[in-house]
Amino acid sequence: MPKGGVTTVSLLVVLLVGTGIGALVGLFLGGSVSHGVVLALIAGLAGTIGAVIVRNALVHQKIGVGPDDTAIPTTVATYALIASIAGSLAGLEVANLLHEAFPVWIGTLAGLMSSILMGLLMATYHAQSHSG
């Protein structure tokens, strides 16, 4: 598979898994977490962690979702967790702006925005490490 296709598949895996996990967190924790900020943070962090785990597992199985060199390094994953805070809060704001502040929407958007930031970090890391 060409390198561009691998990057695209890798980003799609991260976006889909992060968004799906964020939605599930919003669905299951929506009734028990009373504050939207806390729900968004939990959903965004869970989505980011889940996306990292699934992508790394697929890379280790060598099924073509990432560069052959390594999985996502710990440093990038750590930065992504920190960036997921911003993504989670952005997801909450978008849900509020759309007047869709339902827990499942908050979780979905928090997971999506956090996954986008994770994807940007992955792309930047791989572009920088291969430009050498």
Give 10-residue mean pLDDT values along the chain (132 residues): 63 91 93 87 93 81 57 72 90 89 92 90 75 62
pLDDT at 1: 47
Rounded to whole angstroms, the Cα distance separating 36 from 26 reads 10
By residue range, what is the domain housing residue 56? 3-129
pLDDT given for residue 22 in this prediction: 95
Residue 91: the pLDDT is 92
Q: How far apart are CA 29 and CA 119, in angstroms?
A: 25
Are 64 and 42 spatial neighbours (Cβ–Cβ below 8 Å)?
A: no
Task: Note the pTM of the prediction, 2 decimals.
Answer: 0.83
Nearest alpha carbon to residue 71 among 87, 112, 85, 80: 80
- Count of domains observed in the chain: 1
- What residue type is 114 in one-letter code? S
